[in-house]
Amino acid sequence: MDLLSDVLVVDLTRALAGPHAAMMFGDLGARVIKVESPTGDDTRLWGPPFIGEGDQRESTYFMSCNRNKEAVTADLKSDDGKDFLRRLVRQADVLMENFRPGVLDRLGFSVEELHRINPGLVILSITGFGHDGPEGGRAGYDQIAQGEAGLMSLTGAGPDEPTKVGVPIGDLLAGMYGAYGVVAALHERARTGRGRVVRTSLLAGIVGVHAFQGTRHTVAGEVPTAIGNHHASIAPYGLFRTADAAVQIAVGSEALWSRFAPVVGIDVADPRFATNELRVAHRPELIGEIEGAFAAAGAEAWLEQLNEAGVPAGKVRTLDDVYSWEQTLSQGLLIEVDHPTAGPIQLPGPPLRFDDNAFAGARKSHLAPPLLGQHDASVRAWLDEVDADAEQGGLS
């Protein structure tokens, strides 16, 4: 049985952070009902690229974060829309929202009201910069959050070239942290019977992964800056040019250094490079010597030598290469779904597996990202059945 098959998620979220969190639940078998305004999630219009034509045109951006969901529409400013949401909330285990602070309250669905309707409801609230504090009301867009949360100052060729990460990592991290918090709240609810509110933000998600860069500042008093494709605290660890392409190496211990140095003709005991601290201090010289050696052959030849020496190394793949790579396919990271208008399409797959060489616990098959309002009729019919059963039970 799917791990979360007994969980119903009402997904009020738009864009990426919240939809990603809800999709994580859908991937593990939860029933996820995505509630959109009659005009739909903004990401349905985020393109190109699109697939299809005319009124069957669909955004590939929307498809990236909405698999394994049903889709319904409701105008939450209308009486009918409010009543529809109340009916969903009564049945739900989880409600996810990423409105700006105060929006749900103004619509009549404050935390107090949601818990009056369903005391066991776990509520996930994702914001841009937090639900309170001096800037809690700011709108949250990923690239702005990457800059405000310091990530861009750590990324790029150097301190004068702040660079965003190539995916909306603030959104994705907030979604993942949010899902993690919801699982904890559901675990608590099993003991108490009461739901609670889980809050996170793009700001929190990014600060949460500052890792060693954060403690460089909070403990050591340093202000880290971008240094390109090399590790701030380990050398050699990064991207190096060969005669025809770049390779990446990770010499993360003295034992690895003793294996790597002879491959590129460096004396292991060279006083400039004898310890990691010295190698970091003399990084420009070290890079020059390594790339000088690497210039004698191409990437594949060097990767073969490094592999034989037991030194972690790899190539920089483009996405077409990644999605045709046998290792990617072996991990179930590419799935096929049957889309209502586009037909069979392939999507990046869920990143979790359970048990050896099995996908038990997660879905055996996946639902395509839904069309706008695709499940309006079926979800409303289900709610009618639930309400009728409840009314009959109350009369018996």
The catalytic residue positions are: 171
User: Is residue 368 packed enough to be buried (19+ CB in 10 Å), middle (13-18) or exposed (0-12)?
Assistant: buried
Residues β-bridged to residue 97: 125
Angstrom CA distances, 236 to 229, 247, 262, stand at 11, 12, 14
Contacts of 359 (CB under 8 A, 6+ apart): 332, 353
Residue pair 359/332 in contact (Cβ under 8 Å)? The answer is: yes
**What is the C-alpha to C-alpha distance for residues 293 and 91, in angstroms, rounded to an integer?**
65
Contacts of 190 (CB under 8 A, 6+ apart): none
Read off the tokens for 165. 């990460």
Residue 337: which of 314, 360, 363, 311 has the closest Cα?
A: 363
Strand, coil or helix: 387 = helix
Residue pair 43/56 in contact (Cβ under 8 Å)? The answer is: no
* Dihedral sign of CA atoms 200, 202, 203, 208 in order: positive
